[in-house]
């Protein structure tokens, strides 16, 4: 690794921990994403956060994701995250499963490999964190029993 990569890895470590310390599994390679997705049962739910360094990730996406994932009575079976701009191949692989235009940060809910919900950056940025939390709560209540 060069000095720039070392610096960036050190800088984003806190952003990674913002989810991983709340039981989000970080998928950092293409193989990790594929293995995870291929091992899912068709009835298991997975909440995916595509993390990023931007302000809307820090102030809106991560707080909404971790709060609802921890506090809502209906929870997904799995919580995972990939980091856009850092773990590029893993992020691209997850985006292939999501099947939507690239968007960072963003969130998705799967049942098995079937996408049930996608929240792109355009519906995160500029909103109140409570509104994003309500969107996630509604989706969890509908799909996660």
Active site residue ranges: 54, 56
d(Cα 84, Cα 105) in Å, to the nearest integer? 8
64 Rama sector, left if φ>0, alpha if ψ -120 to 50, beta otherwise: alpha
**Contact between 98 and 115 (Cβ < 8 Å):** yes
d(Cα 72, Cα 53) in Å, to the nearest integer? 26
């Amino acid at each position: 690794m060069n000095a720039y990569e070392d610096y960036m890895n050190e800088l984003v470590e806190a952003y990674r921990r913002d989810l991983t310390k709340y039981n989000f599994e970080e998928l950092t390679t293409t193989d990790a994403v594929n293995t995870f997705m291929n091992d899912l049962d068709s009835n298991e739910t997975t909440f995916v956060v595509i993390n990023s360094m931007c302000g809307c990730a820090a102030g809106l996406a991560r707080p909404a994701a971790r709060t609802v994932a921890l506090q809502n009575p209906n929870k997904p079976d799995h919580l995972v995250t990939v980091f856009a701009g850092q773990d590029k191949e893993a992020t691209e692989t997850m985006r292939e499963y999501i099947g939507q235009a690239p968007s960072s940060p963003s969130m998705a809910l799967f049942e098995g490999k079937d996408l049930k919900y996608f929240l792109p950056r355009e519906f995160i940025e500029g909103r109140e964190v409570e509104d994003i939390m309500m969107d996630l709560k509604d989706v969890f209540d509908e799909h996660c029993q």
